[in-house]
Amino acid sequence: RLSKNLSQILRHGVVDEGLADCLDAEGFVPLARVLALPRFRGVGADEIRALVAADRKGRFELRDRTDGIVHVRATQGHTLRGDVLDDDAMATRLTRTSGIREAVHGTSMRAWKRIRTHGLSRMRRRHVHMATGLPGDGEVKSGVRNDCEVAVWVDVERGVAEGVPFFVSANGVVLSPG
């Protein structure tokens, strides 16, 4: 429950929860501001630190700033649009020499029918999410659902060469606004 609440706020609810004024270009907000929200009543910084450390998918990141204030962010999955978040600040832009030649987007059979006709869509998110391999591959910890029915392989190298922006998040998810 704690993970879901944190994910919802950091990915989707920053504006609605009154945190937009302290959101930086990398997606970080002060942890104290998050913990002051009613849904986190009784939750302490140590519980968030333990959650972040135990999260195998690396969905969250903490940063101790030089001013002594701890900040937290979701590593990807944001729905906030506009100029507030900076893709280049939040993730590493892939280039022709980045070494990631292809990525896979896992989806359902139902969604595959639409993808075949209209292509991949980021839907309400900032990016299409992909992984560098299939579920169960050693390095893949996030970016493709374990229960995906269809794997859509994307030629990242070609996309980058054609000017399509691709990024890799702190937890290894390949991202593209399309």
**pLDDT tops 80 at residue 9:** yes
Q: Which one of 49, 82, 115 terminates a domain?
A: 82
Task: Say whether pTM exceeds 0.75.
Answer: yes
Note the pLDDT of residue 141.
Answer: 65
Show the domain range for 75. 2-82
| Residue 87 located in a structural domain | no
CATH number for 7: 1.10.10.970
Whether residue 58 sits in one domain with residue 103: no
Residue with the larger pLDDT of the pair 147 and 4: 4
pLDDT tens digits for range 18-62: 999 999 999 999 999 999 999 999 999 999 999 999 998 899 999
Tell me which amino acid residue 85 is: L
Sheet arrangement for strand 29-30: 29-30, 70-74, 60-64
Q: Do 97 and 166 fall within a single domain?
A: yes
As a dihedral over the C-alpha atoms of residue 10, residue 7, residue 1, residue 149, rounded to 10 degrees, the angle is: 170
- Strand 167-168 to 174-176 pairing: antiparallel
